[in-house]
Structure 1
């Protein structure tokens, strides 16, 4: 079976942002996202793969037998836009996107240009419903919180 590319690394998050992000507003937004996600999860930020900043972790296992670990929530300050890994769509939380702000939906993430384009209280609700979902459906470090 193929090895997961996105695993937790020892790279320093602050060093990553300072060396990878070349836009002052994106740097400021990255540090603000770290503050918020750390507060909402109770976990310190860790690097996952080369560009994802994640908070906490959980273990997943698919019916196919593929399994691995992933951050509970996280983001990546990609060159064009932020990728936010904060949303597991369910019938109970899809309505939150109505008040989220300016974003695009990806397969497993939400894309935003800058933090001021979105409603951060809605982001908090999305993150917290995702934490609850992962806690209920996976082996999760969030159960210890």
Structure 2
């Protein structure tokens, strides 16, 4: 795919995800008042708020915004299936998992949230989480309904 076409699709995807990204920006701004730090990650196509002060740990992606409670998303973590006891899988890199969610938002825009909820929310059975884990393992297959 020509780079100009890829960039145009990325811009269109970011615009399609913008309503959810605005929610992420508002939460990130609130987090900055409590010590969070923001930086744009070109690799992840997202504004990443690190040291986000609220939440159980890990990260939450909202459009092209990632709220991360830690210092670096380059840390290794278990997959959802591994933690749920559905499979024994090697650890993944958190940034790769969250990048898959950014791609999902860019493809589905505001439809992501209701489809994610219909998929089961935060669980090992959710096709969005399975796809994000698959992408983190292989670099392919971020689409929730693919078999890649």
TM-score (norm 2): 0.30
Instruction: Kindly indicate which of the two structures has a greater share of residues assigned to strand.
Output: 1
Instruction: Kindly indicate which of the two structures has a greater share of residues assigned to helix.
Output: 2
TM-score (norm 1): 0.30
